Structure 1
Amino acid sequence: MARRPTIIDVARQAGVSKSTVSLVLQDSPLVKPETRELVRKAMAEIGYVYNRAAANMRSSNVGLIGLVINDLRNPFFTEFATSAQMAFSARGYATVIANTDEDPGLQAQVVGSMIEHGVSGIVISPAYGEEDATFETIARAGLPALQVLRRCDSRTDLFPFASFDYARGGRLAAAHLIAAGARRIAFVGGFEGTPITRERMSGYLAVMEEAGQAPFALHGRNSRGFGREAAVALTRDHPEIDAAICFNDLVALGMMSGFAELGRPVGSAFRLVGFDDIEECAQVWPQLSSVRCHIADFARDTAANMLRWLEEDTRPPAETRAPVELIVRASSGGGA
């Protein structure tokens, strides 16, 4: 017996997304007339029959967006998820949010579960490793999916990617520290070899080469605990290093704590710049300089791109980079 056509088959025949087909079947006014006609023509061509009773049973899942986040403990990602959720909610979409804790196995599990429960699209800040288990599942489902903040699947025609200009952020931070009088600058944090670490280091490395300075990296967990350990290790083993750019603000805040215990004043004896500019940077003492990524605006733009894809069948650009800026505060400005 031949297999009955599905809405995925209709989507492929019409050259649109599965979500667009669903909207046509629901008689949604969000679909343009020409797209509606294209979908109905594809349905006739392949003999698709709409099972309205079954669709009604699934209707509670229409307009559900999956947000898959690699580390919700980090305030940077929490702000992204919260801002995106609020933007989707403002347009009547519900969200289901999952923290994968940098575990690719858990990521594949939650993505599969979201698809089974009928999400219309997925926004994912992915964990590294075993990428096929996640992205091939999404591809087979025919769902719109956006990669954000990290690119783990190279098929950006299928999974568009959006992030920040991290290379420029590293360059701004390094140039600022040199201008402020730093003699030896380290890069602290980030898992060695991962694409996101290479991105955030690239601007720093370029400035070090231009200035004729030797780079120094101390890699590790992107956490306060590692930052505190790094402050102790640098003071003990590399006292000539008098400044650092950190992979993220959590590492930098941990370093500030470590230097406080050691009696090494941040801002004068050691200059420090974080990355992301989470809210706490302006609340600690001395205030922490940081590369600001406008994460709330970025999240709202991400939601808008997903909604245009779902409602208008307008796929986002293959790659988008949002601008960054350096916010100079006391931790790198020559005194607290």
Structure 2
Amino acid sequence: EFATVLQMTLAAKGYATVIANSDEDADLQAKLVGSMIEHGVSALVVSPAYGDGGDAFDQIERAGIPAMQVLRKTDPRTGLFPFSSFDYAAGSARATRHLMNQGAQRIAFVGGLEGRAITEERKSGYLAEVKRAGAEPFSLHGRSSRGFGLDAVDQLPDDVDAAVCFNDLVALGMLSGFARIGRNLGQDFRLVGFDDIEDCAQVWPQLSSVACDIDGFARATADGLLAWMRDGVTPPPEHRAPVDLVARTSSTGRMP
């Protein structure tokens, strides 16, 4: 969705967009970046692959073209490669406070690969709120998939009665897992996902989620890139777009 909106916004301003997927391979990412530079692209927007391989950003620096990091930051040189993402920490903090206000006694954080920057960022707000409440945190890390969420249901301690998930796929898997064992979401267990994908409002019970305005974020990214290319106005080194909490039945127990 981000790539589509970015492409359409740039197209409206007269720019053609080339989209490439490195499939989380840093070496392949470096090759793709090199190829694009050779073909004379005007700028790059990179959601970088994790890993030590490749020299994508060094190539970009040598080429001297504008380049932004979005959603993930793997190069610390944000003065050269500005970083823009969502305020994930605020999102998980808000989700955790919401669950506490609904009466949750012990809240888990479920999903995301341990040690990855985006996992730690999404978890940080949860940890801060749990610490503030004097409660004991519990994290269960793994792939950001429905399958992991389904299996996670059987791995939670008995006293955990709520969870903030790394993303909606994990939460949707947990929703299925609780349905399988006959546990009522919104009453016996309270659940909040992250990203607010379309499925959240279409499943039953409807899934509460931290919403990220991808369309607005993509348009703002395009506008910032255009200002950089056309007017020499470099985006700020780091920008965090606000997020919102959409509370639904899985955490409130209330019918829509």
| Aligned counterparts of 1:265 and 1:99: Cα–Cα separation in 2 | 40
| Aligned counterparts of 1:131 and 1:244: Cα–Cα separation in 2 | 35
| Aligned counterparts of 2:61 and 2:19: Cα–Cα separation in 1 | 20
Question: 1:266–1:335: 8 Å Cα contact kept in structure 2?
Answer: no
Q: Which residue of 2 aligns with 1:276?
A: 195
1:312 to 223, 231, 245: 231
Q: Which residue of 1 aligns with 2:184?
A: 265
1:300 to 211, 214, 219: 219
Q: Which residue of 2 aligns with 1:288?
A: 207
| Aligned counterparts of 1:87 and 1:117: Cα–Cα separation in 2 | 22
Question: 1:131–1:153: 8 Å Cα contact kept in structure 2?
Answer: no
Question: 2:26–2:54: 8 Å Cα contact kept in structure 1?
Answer: no
Structure 1 residues 144-166: Cα deviation after superposition (integer angstroms, max 9, x where no partner): 10001111111011000111111
1:185 to 104, 107, 116: 107
Give the alignment's Cα RMSD to 1 decimal.
1.3
Letter in 2 for 1:199: E
Q: Which residue of 2 aligns with 1:330?
A: 249
Query: Are 2:82 and 1:160 aligned?
Result: yes
| Aligned counterparts of 1:114 and 1:262: Cα–Cα separation in 2 | 51
| Aligned counterparts of 2:54 and 2:66: Cα–Cα separation in 1 | 16
TM-score when normalising by structure 1 = 0.74
Alignment of 1:41-120 (within 5 A): 79-120=1-42
Query: Are 2:145 and 1:223 aligned?
Result: yes
| Aligned counterparts of 2:188 and 2:154: Cα–Cα separation in 1 | 14
Shift of the alpha carbon at 1:335? 4.8
Shift of the alpha carbon at 1:187? 0.2
Shift of the alpha carbon at 1:131? 6.2
User: Rg larger in 1 or in 2?
Assistant: 1
Q: Which residue of 2 aligns with 1:194?
A: 116
Question: 2:108–2:163: 8 Å Cα contact kept in structure 1?
Answer: yes
Task: Name stretches of at least 5 consecutive residues in structure 1 with no aligned partner.
Answer: 1-78
Q: Which residue of 2 aligns with 1:251?
A: 170
Q: What secondary structure is seen at the aligned counterpart in 1 of 2:19?
A: strand
Query: Are 2:131 and 1:209 aligned?
Result: yes
Question: 1:156–1:319: 8 Å Cα contact kept in structure 2?
Answer: yes
Q: What secondary structure is seen at the aligned counterpart in 1 of 2:130?
A: helix
Q: Which residue of 2 aligns with 1:241?
A: 160
Shift of the alpha carbon at 1:232? 2.6
Letter in 2 for 1:262: I
| Aligned counterparts of 2:54 and 2:228: Cα–Cα separation in 1 | 23
Task: Name stretches of at least 5 consecutive residues in structure 2 with no aligned partner.
Answer: none
Q: How many aligned residue pairs are there?
A: 255
Shift of the alpha carbon at 1:100? 2.1
